[in-house]
Amino acid sequence: MRGTFVIPAKPLYEGKAKSVYSSENPDELIVVFRNDMTAFNGVKHDQFTDKGRLNATASEFFMRMLETEGIPTHFVRMSAPDTMVVRRLEMIPLEVIVRNIAAGSMTKKYPVDEGTVLDRPVVTIDYKDDERGDPMINDDLILVFHILNAEELTKVKEMALKVNKVLRGFFDECGITLVDFKLEFGKSAGTIYLGDEISMDSMRLWDKVTGESLDKDVYRFDKGDVITAYRNVLKRIIPDAVV
Ligand code: C5P
């Protein structure tokens, strides 16, 4: 039981940190944010009490914010603190990453130092395929594989940059630098929606003053207590949230 829902015994899909279940409404799905935390394509794996709720709370907050900014998202409502009811989408197998500052895989793949502020936000896209290590993909490949048509690809990039503009400004006011983040999109009845999650698992966030990581890098690179970092973000973005 999750809020008003009796959760089916078997998920439709089990990701590394979320489980997706069918609901009584065929147009909606139920997403449970689990306490699992993984890194390096599942090589590192742990569980942290309350982690699912913290990420669900952040995701709800950002999806609502983006809706008010005109970005369609899959968010419908929360049915429990760690459980989100979402619009059923046909997911697009792409990870759309927006970077404001060089970090992570960008500094491994290219000769750019971590912390370099990029002249303008950069969108990079990975093909979502764990077995192949989520390889980077380009526009031509996306079109030739019929993952998206040209109009949809333009739309996805526009949406990603709009999300960046909204979130970057918001985080700045909270004393946090939005370094980079990953989005996933899906389609329903010809419309492209923002799906998946926007949480501390999917963003790189640095304290504006100290530069300390407040995101999954704390877990990836054993930089401290990841749940303390996640609570710190929530306290700053939603001052009245129960954290
Ligand atoms: O690893 P990389 O530097 O390419 O990640 C860029 C951003 O996308 C980071 O904020 C990371 O947390 C996020 N990401 C993600 N899921 C992935 C890959 C990256 O949330 N599978």
What's the 32 CA to ligand 1 centre distance in angstroms?
Answer: 21
Single-letter amino acid code for the residue at 166: V
Say how far apart CA 74 and CA 89 lie, in whole Å.
8
Q: How confident is the model at residue 198 (pLDDT cuts 50, 70, 90)?
A: very high
Q: How confident is the model at residue 147 (pLDDT cuts 50, 70, 90)?
A: very high
Say how far apart CA 203 and CA 197 lie, in whole Å.
10
* Residue found by looking up tokens 């993984």 in the block: 38
The CATH number of the domain holding residue 83 is: 3.30.200.20
The CATH number of the domain holding residue 127 is: 3.30.470.20
Into how many domains does the chain fold?
A: 2
> Is 117 a member of any domain?
yes
- Structural domain of 26: 13-87
- 57 with 137, same domain: the answer is no
- 78 with 115, same domain: the answer is no
Tens digits of residue pLDDT in 64-91: 999 999 999 999 999 999 999 999 999 9
Nearest CA to ligand 1 atom 20: 202
pTM: 0.96
Say how far apart CA 167 and CA 172 lie, in whole Å.
8
Nearest to 85 by CA among 26, 12, 23: 23
Run of H or E including 98: strand 94-101
Whether 217 is in the pocket of ligand 1, judged by its Cβ within 6 Å, is: no
- 124 with 58, same domain: the answer is no
pLDDT at 1 over 80: no
Residue to probe by mutation, ligand 1, list 43, 105, 185, 202, most atoms within 8 Å of CB:
202
> Is 175 a member of any domain?
yes
- 64 with 163, same domain: the answer is no
Say how far apart CA 33 and CA 58 lie, in whole Å.
11
Question: Helix (H, G, I), strand (E, B), or coil: what is residue 130?
Answer: helix
Whether 18 is in the pocket of ligand 1, judged by its Cβ within 6 Å, is: no
Which ligand 1 atom sits nearest the alpha carbon of residue 216? 12
User: What value does the CA radius of gyration of the chain take, rounded to a whole number of Å?
Assistant: 17
> Is 8 a member of any domain?
no
> Is 240 a member of any domain?
no
